C-alpha cells in the first residue's frame, strides 16, 4: 500500500500534520482506546484499552504505553508541565487500578483516562 493510499485513512506520512489534524488524530485514538464500542443493549461504552487490559500481566502495560503516546503528543503540542502532570496522573491511576483483576477491568471501562486527557488538552488549547 503506498503512502497515497494511507492518506485516504488519515495516515499521510508524506507531509507534516497541522495542529488541528494532530488534535483530531489524538481524539480519534482516545475514542478508539476508551469508547469505540458499546455493550449491546446498554449505553456502556468501552475501547481497546479495556479489551487489551484483559490479558493478564502484559495487557495493562501495553495499554499504559498506548496512553502515554497521547501525553507525549500533548507535550509536543505545547501543553504546560502542570497539565502533563495531571495527564500522567490519569494514566498512572488507570494503570495501577487496571492491574487489579476484574475490578481493574471495570475501572478501565468507567475511568477513561484517554478521554479525560483529551478533555484536559482541548480545554487548555481552547484557552490559548
SS3 per-residue string spanning 46-100: ECHHHHHCCCCCHHHHHHHHHHHHHHHHHHHCCCCHHHHHHHHHHHHHHHHHHCC
Please indicate, yes or no, if residue 81 is contained in any of the structural domains: yes
Enter the C-alpha cell of residue 124: 487548555
Please indicate, yes or no, if residue 3 is contained in any of the structural domains: no
Q: How far apart are CA 69 and CA 28, in angstroms?
A: 13
Q: How far apart are CA 39 and CA 45, in angstroms?
A: 6
Please give the pLDDT value at position 102: 85
Please indicate, yes or no, if residue 110 is contained in any of the structural domains: yes
Please indicate, yes or no, if residue 30 is contained in any of the structural domains: yes
Coil/strand/helix, residue 119: helix
Domain that holds residue 63: 18-127
- The domain total for the chain is 1
What pLDDT, in 10s, does the model give residues 102-113?
898 899 999 999
Please indicate, yes or no, if residue 61 is contained in any of the structural domains: yes
Answer whether residue 61 shows pLDDT above 90. Answer: yes
Q: How many CB atoms lie within 10 A of CB 84?
A: 17
What pLDDT, in 10s, does the model give residues 70-124?
999 999 999 999 999 999 999 999 999 988 888 988 999 999 999 999 999 999 9
Q: How far apart are CA 37 and CA 19, in angstroms?
A: 27
Please indicate, yes or no, if residue 13 is contained in any of the structural domains: no
Please indicate, yes or no, if residue 74 is contained in any of the structural domains: yes
Q: What is the pTM of this model?
A: 0.84
Please give the pLDDT value at position 56: 85
Q: How far apart are CA 19 and CA 30, in angstroms?
A: 17
Please indicate, yes or no, if residue 90 is contained in any of the structural domains: yes
Amino acid at each position: 500500500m503506498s503512502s497515497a493510499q494511507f492518506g485516504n485513512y488519515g495516515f499521510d506520512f508524506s507531509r507534516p500534520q497541522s495542529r488541528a489534524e494532530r488534535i483530531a488524530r489524538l481524539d480519534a485514538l482516545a475514542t478508539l482506546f476508551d469508547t469505540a464500542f458499546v455493550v449491546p443493549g446498554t449505553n456502556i461504552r468501552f475501547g481497546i484499552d479495556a479489551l487489551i487490559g484483559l490479558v493478564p500481566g502484559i495487557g495493562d502495560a501495553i495499554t499504559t504505553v498506548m496512553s502515554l503516546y497521547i501525553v507525549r503528543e500533548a507535550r509536543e503540542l505545547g501543553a504546560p508541565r502542570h497539565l502533563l502532570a495531571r495527564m500522567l496522573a490519569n494514566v498512572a491511576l488507570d494503570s495501577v487500578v487496571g492491574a487489579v483483576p476484574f475490578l481493574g477491568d471495570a475501572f478501565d471501562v468507567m475511568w477513561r483516562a484517554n478521554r479525560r486527557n483529551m478533555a484536559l488538552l482541548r480545554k487548555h488549547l481552547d484557552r490559548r
